[in-house]
Structure 1
C-alpha cells in the first residue's frame, strides 16, 4: 500500500473528519493515479474501490439503450466516488470515468464499509455527501431540460475549473457535446457566444477561462445552488 503519511491531503470531504477518524481512513488508503479516460466502475457492477480525489476529477455518466451517454455529475476534491455504499448496496448505480488527470486516495470497498460501521462520524458525513450528490444529479436533469446550452456550458466550465484549479482546460467541442448531450454545432455556437463576450478563448481542444465572474453571470443558477447545498450540508467545524 502506498504510504500516505506526509502526503498533502487536500480532499475536502476527508478534511471534515475529526483528526483521529481521518488518520484511520488514511491508514487504509493508497495513493493512485487518475488517468484520463480510465473506467473506475460500470453501472450495475460490484463496487470494488472508493476514491477520494486529491487532484483531477471523475464524471458520472448515464447511458441510454443506444449506448449514448450524458454526464449528470462531477466528483472532484469536494467528494468521493462510492458513497452509495452507505445504502447497503454494493452495486454501482452508474458509470464513472476519469475526466481530469490527477491523483486520488483509493480504499477497498469492504474496508470502507467497515469504517462506516465503526465510525458514526464517517457514516454521518458519507450520508450527508450522498444527499448533496443526489441533489446535484437531480438538479442536472432539470438543468438539461430547461436551460440554454450557453448557460449549461458556462456552468460546466465553472465546475471543471473548480476541480482542476486552472484557467486552462483541455476540452474539445466533441467532448463537450457528449457531456452536455447536445450536437457539436450547439457547443460551437455557445462557445462562440462566450468568446465574443470576452469570457473565454478557445482553439481546437483547448479552452482558456478569461473571466470567471463573467461565466458566473452567464451560467444558470444551478451552479450557485450546488455550491450553496454543499456548504449547507458539509462545511462543518471539527
Structure 2
C-alpha cells in the first residue's frame, strides 16, 4: 500500500493517519479533533533544515513512520553535535514554549519521509484548552530533556564504540528496519568525533558481526549484540520514556 502523503490530504481519510505518530495517537479523541483542521501532511527530505539557532519556531513537526530528525548544537566554527534524536514517538519544535520561541539549536531531517506540520500557535492554544493535552506534552518535554541530559553524560564518560552503538540502536528503533542510510561523515558529526574515528569504530563493530557497512549505509545485523556493546544510556533513556509516556512507548 502506498503510504506517501499528498499535500492537503484529509487526515481522516486514512485510519493510519495520525496513528503513524505515536504522540498524536496518544491524544484523546476530542483533543485530536481540535488539532485535525490545523495538521498539514508534509514530506520531509533528507538534510532538510527545519529551523536554525535563533529562528522563531513557528511550526511544530510530528514525524511519522520512519521519519527522523536530529536536534543539533552548532558551534561558532560551524561544527555540529547531536543533542537529541526524534522520530515517530515525538515532535520537533514548540513543545513547551509560549510567545516568542527562538530555537537554541538546529533541527535537521536525518531519515526522510512523512510528517504532520502544525502552527505552533495552534498547538499552544490546544494545550491551553485541555489540561490532559498539556500534561501529555509536558511529559514528552521531560523525556526529551532526559535524553539530552543523558547525552551530556554519555559524551563525557563513555567510549566512542559504546556511544556509536547507542546511536545506531536509537536510529534503528525509528527506522523500523535493519538498514540505515548514513555516511561516516554524518555519523561523525552526530557523535562529535573525527571521520577516521568512526571508520575505525564501525570497522570493529563489523568485524564482530554486529553491523555491515556499505557505501552510504549501515545495516544492523545483530541487534542484541549491539545492545551489549552500547552504554547504559540507551536503556536508561528508553526506560524513562516508557515510565513517563506508557501510552506513547511501543
**Aligned: 1:112 with 2:119:** no
Partner of 2:10 in structure 1?
Answer: 3
Distance in 2 separating the partners of 1:234 and 1:28: 24
Equivalent position to 1:13, from 18, 23, 31: 23
Distance in 1 separating the partners of 2:155 and 2:128: 37
Partner of 1:59 in structure 2?
Answer: 70
Aligned residues: 237
Give how far 1:178 is off. Answer: 0.9
| 1:192-207 matched pairs, under 5 angstroms | 192-207=203-218
Give how far 1:89 is off. Answer: 4.5
Partner of 2:43 in structure 1?
Answer: 33
Task: Tell me if the contact between 1:32 and 1:103 (Cα under 8 Å) persists in the aligned partners.
Answer: yes
TM-score w.r.t. length of structure 2: 0.91
Task: Tell me if the contact between 2:140 and 2:245 (Cα under 8 Å) persists in the aligned partners.
Answer: yes
Q: Specify the SS of the correspondent of 1:5.
A: helix
Equivalent position to 2:59, from 28, 49, 53: 49
Distance in 1 separating the partners of 2:46 and 2:247: 32
Give how far 1:93 is off. Answer: 2.3
- Structure 2 residue ranges without an equivalent (≥5): 1-7
Partner of 2:33 in structure 1?
Answer: 23
Shift in CA distance, 107/227, structure 1 to aligned 2, threshold 3 Å: same
Q: Specify the SS of the correspondent of 1:50.
A: strand
- Structure 1 residue ranges without an equivalent (≥5): none
**Aligned: 1:182 with 2:193:** yes
Distance in 1 separating the partners of 2:194 and 2:202: 13
Distance in 1 separating the partners of 2:236 and 2:25: 22
Give how far 1:115 is off. Answer: 0.8
Give how far 1:84 is off. Answer: 3.6
TM-score w.r.t. length of structure 1: 0.95
Equivalent position to 2:221, from 192, 210, 214: 210
Task: Tell me if the contact between 2:59 and 2:94 (Cα under 8 Å) persists in the aligned partners.
Answer: no
| 1:94-109 matched pairs, under 5 angstroms | 94-109=105-120
Give how far 1:170 is off. Answer: 1.0
Q: Deviations over 1:42-63 (max 9, x none)?
A: 1121111101111311100001
- Flag as ranges the 4+ runs of structure 1 deviating above 6 A: none
Q: Specify the SS of the correspondent of 1:90.
A: coil
Give how far 1:12 is off. Answer: 1.1
Distance in 2 separating the partners of 1:25 and 1:202: 42
Equivalent position to 1:165, from 161, 165, 176: 176
Shift in CA distance, 110/89, structure 1 to aligned 2, threshold 3 Å: same
Distance in 2 separating the partners of 1:223 and 1:54: 22
Give how far 1:27 is off. Answer: 2.8
Distance in 1 separating the partners of 2:229 and 2:24: 32
* CA-atom RMSD in angstroms: 1.4
Partner of 1:122 in structure 2?
Answer: 133
Q: Deviations over 1:176-224 (max 9, x none)?
A: 1111000111111111111111111112212111011111111001001
